[in-house]
Structure 1
Amino acid sequence: METEVQRSKQGKSVSNRFLTFYLENEIYGVHIFDVKEIIAMMKTTPVPKTPKFIQGVMNLRGNIIPVVDMRLKFDMPSIPPQAYTAIVIIRLGEKQIGFIVDKVEEVINVDDEHLTPPPEFGEHIDTRFIKSMAQYKQKVVMILDLLALFGDEELSMVENLSKTASDKG
């Protein structure tokens, strides 16, 4: 996967760019190259027999995109859309998925030396979806590994949702 590299004047530090967003009081980040666009919350069409975290699908300029409620994906309580609720359209290989987030924060630059591996909490707590922890200003940002966030079965289902919905339209 390609990454944007920005060298500092010393030539030692590499900067990574992440879009940050909030879910409850936690701040998360995704690599900016995985982000296609950010849109305001819009109506989705529910799809029967899908996991609860799949809000449904939406038609975005002729593309049928599955939409995931990230609160439910992370076992947080669902809340009705608020003023800052947004959908972040993510590229996952050839697929696009919409992530409903509480609030999009900003794009940050983080040098490699401010990225650390996620802590290990033991085998009963799954942190595979956290690629790294970024120290930014006075915050710790959990950088998501988008492929690890969804298992192969979920990715396949999301891909099929796009195909099924676009076949019907």
Structure 2
Amino acid sequence: MAATPSQLEFLSFTLRSEEYGVDIQKVQELRGYDAVTRIANSPAFLMGVVNLRGIIVPIVDMRIKLNLGTPTYDQFTVVIILNVGARLMGMVVDSVSDVITLIPEQVKPAPQLGAALDTDYLVGMGTLNDRIVLLVDIEQLMSTSEMGLVEQIAA
């Protein structure tokens, strides 16, 4: 069932025990985690690059990017291929849950936690029954100064 203009659709995914959501319109495809080509001297969160049907796509592990501990790679690990700006990027997550549809009233503003914690990449908090889904502005997250390295590599 397609969302009406007043509804928002997000692909929900997990990082550790938290549930996140990304605008479904940014998602190109889902893939299992495969070996990547490492790039020397790249930041730890940049796993490397893969050749996706002739396009070189940087792969970022969000668990490392968001300081969520040492990631594990298993049969549930998923790479979400995203359209970010004019580029394709891969985002490694623990698992993908489902597509959730929210109405604007279900999206609460992200809390302002001060300079100690950068939450600028959060669009808000989606509330769905008893679930709270952290809604990510993937363009904001991927355009931070450190992620600018990814843009240079992908160029």
TM-score, normalised with respect to structure 2: 0.92
Match of 2:4 in 1: 6
Gaps of 5+ in 2: none
Does the residue aligned with 2:50 lie in a helix, a strand or coil?
strand
Match of 1:166 in 2: none
Match of 1:96 in 2: 88
Moved segments of 4+, more than 4 Å: none
Gaps of 5+ in 1: 8-13, 164-169
Residue type at the aligned position of 1:141: V
- Which one has a larger percent helix, Structure 1 or Structure 2? 1
Contact 2:64 2:71 in 1 (8 A): no
Over residues 81-129 of structure 1, what are the superposed CA-to-partner deviations in whole Å (9 max), with x where a residue is unaligned? 1221010001111111100000000001000000011011222211111
Residue type at the aligned position of 1:85: T
Give 1 or 2 for the bigger CA radius of gyration.
Answer: 1
- CA distance in 1 between counterparts of 2:13 and 2:117 reads 23
Q: 1:74 aligns with which of 66, 86, 106?
A: 66
Match of 2:54 in 1: 62
Q: 2:17 aligns with which of 25, 32, 35?
A: 25
Q: 1:86 aligns with which of 72, 78, 95?
A: 78
Q: 1:145 aligns with which of 130, 134, 137?
A: 137
Cα RMSD over matched residues? 1.6
> Structure 1 residue 152: deviation in Å?
4.8
Residue type at the aligned position of 1:142: L
Residue correspondences, number:
154
- CA distance in 2 between counterparts of 1:153 and 1:47 reads 19
- CA distance in 2 between counterparts of 1:5 and 1:37 reads 19
TM-score, normalised with respect to structure 1: 0.85
Does the residue aligned with 1:51 lie in a helix, a strand or coil?
coil
